[in-house]
Amino acid sequence: MKKLIETISNIWKIEDLRSRLITTFLLVVIYRFGSYVVLPGIDPTALTALRAQTSGGLLALLDMFSGGAFANASVFALGIMPYISASIVIQLLTIAVPHFQKMQREGESGRRKMNQYTRYLTVAILLMQGPSYLINLSVQLAQAGSAIPSGTIFVITSTLILCGGSMFVMWLGERITDKGIGNGISFIILVGIISRFPGAIIKEFASRLGDAGGGLVMFLGELICLLLVIAASIMLVQGTRKIPVQYAKRVVGNKQYGGVRQYIPLKINAAGVMPIIFAQAIMFIPITLAGFSKSQAFSGFVGAFMNNTGFWYNAVFALLIIVFTYFYTAITVNPHQMAEEMKRNNGFIPGVKPGKKTAEYLDLIMSRITLPGSIFLALVAIMPAFASLVGINQQFAQFFGGTSLLILVGVVLDTLQQIESHLLMRHYDGLLKSGRIKGRTGGTAAAY
């Protein structure tokens, strides 16, 4: 307890860190307040059917990512996922389209252009998802004996409001990245996930309390299993394989450099939680398309992919995670650049020739360790489906692995790592006695 109080005191003494934490808190408060601002013309008391619809299935996960804004028919109802979807498309284009490859090589100016394209594409996706959301909202309000205002004007204005709300959420995320604690977009998703956790655990406790014959024992067993899954997720996020690098001796003047052996820590899961976020964004596409189609065959197809405990949903979800793990690892880890840097510093891997052979060796090692890492990531991601099958409340089951838990673990570790970096830079003790906190990417925060 004394160590905790001392750490909090040290954090408060650092003016820059204190300012960033306060800024982050205020921006989060604005985001949470906006999650309860209902669209103009919608009766908040008639949203019972919409809330029931989002209590389970894929819509429950979408509602979790939006922090409850989806079920509240809020101006932030579409959340941040359209921006994630746009980012996926732009990053795929950097592989397939030469123009985007050129922009990627232009450094900071190219990154600004790509961000601008991402924003334009986000607006286009929002303009598609807005009417789809309003169609679903109309159906759910009808079940409660209410209705949305009729007319094209309402659809257009509400779509623009939903679009503006999501762009404002994206702006809040960018401000958290620039002026706050960092990882703004991921932090926005994290806030939405955390906001759902207290209600989920209270609901599960209440349901187990009413069970006859060891309901509380089952609840304690669930908590132990949850802690084990969290520990496994942390190991997945932080796991590394060390590659030895020998630096040759060289003499400059009267000083000798090199002659030492160091290690390159290659991440078992170098992509972090981004493959899951990307895969989840793809799995949300059927929800958008469902609003524009009245075909029964299409509705049946969409229904199979809206059941997040079903076989086809989890099979496709796991496959997408494995594919995106390789994809994101390929764009974040560059073996050729690593080999060139080693060569410039007179470093080499024992038994491997410098240059091209080193790059090929690093690429082979990354491929080998990425496969088990991606499979383990996929298994953790579909764990909530198994938790639901054994009788755990679906809202609480979302925290037994899956997108929510991995994002929570990854973003919390990254945030703690950034706070610790500020402390160590000012010559204060870190957050842990046993060593430094490792984030998703080791030394730097993730892209989102």
Q: What domains can be seen in the chain, in order of their start residue?
A: 2-425 (1.10.3370.10)
347-368 b/e with 16+ CB inside 10 Å = b?
Answer: bbbeebebeeebbebbbebbee
Nearest partner of 115 among 86, 81, 85, judged by Cα: 86
Distances (CA, A) of 360 to 161, 328, 337: 51, 18, 11
DSSP code of 255?
A: E
pTM of the model: 0.76
| Amino acid making up residue 81 | M
Contact (Cβ atoms closer than 8 angstroms) between residue 248 and residue 344: no
pLDDT of residue 289: 62
> Residue 24 phi/psi, 5° resolution?
-60, -45
Give yes or no for a contact between 268 and 401, defined as CB atoms under 8 angstroms apart: no
Q: What is the largest distance, in Å, between two alpha-carbon atoms of the chain?
A: 88
Burial 3-18 (b: 16+ CB within 10 A, else e): eeeebeebbeebeebe
Beta strand 347-348 with 240-247: parallel, antiparallel or unpaired?
antiparallel
Residue 312: count other Cβ atoms within 10 Å of its Cβ. 11
Give the pLDDT of residue 157.
93
As a whole number of angstroms, the distance between CA 33 and CA 18 comes to 23
For residue 265, the cross-strand partners are 242
Identify any residues that bridge with 251 across adjacent strands, giving them in sequence order: 256
User: What's the distance, Cα to Cα, between the start and end of the chain in Å?
Assistant: 33
Q: Which residues pair with 263 in a beta bridge?
A: 244
User: What is d(CA 38, CA 172) in angstroms, rounded to the nearest whole number?
Assistant: 19
pLDDT tens by residue, the chain, 448 residues:
677 777 778 778 888 888 888 999 999 999 999 999 999 888 888 888 787 777 766 777 778 878 888 888 899 998 888 888 888 888 878 877 888 888 877 877 888 888 899 999 999 999 988 888 888 888 888 887 788 888 889 899 999 999 999 999 999 988 998 888 878 888 888 888 888 888 888 888 888 877 755 678 888 888 888 888 888 877 777 777 777 777 666 555 555 555 667 777 778 877 777 788 778 778 777 766 655 444 455 456 566 666 777 788 888 888 998 988 888 888 778 888 888 888 887 777 888 888 888 888 888 888 888 888 888 888 888 888 888 887 787 778 888 776 778 778 878 888 888 888 877 777 666 666 555 566 555 433 344 4
SS3 state at 54: coil
Give the torsion through C-alpha atoms of 8, 9, 10, 13, to 10 deg.
120
Helix, strand, coil tally for the chain in percent (to 5): 70, 5, 25
Q: Give dist(CA 81, CA 122) in Å, integer.
A: 9
Give 400: exposed, middle or buried? Use CB within 10 Å, 0-12, 13-18, 19+.
Answer: buried
pLDDT value of residue 159: 92
Q: Identify the pLDDT of residue 444.
A: 32
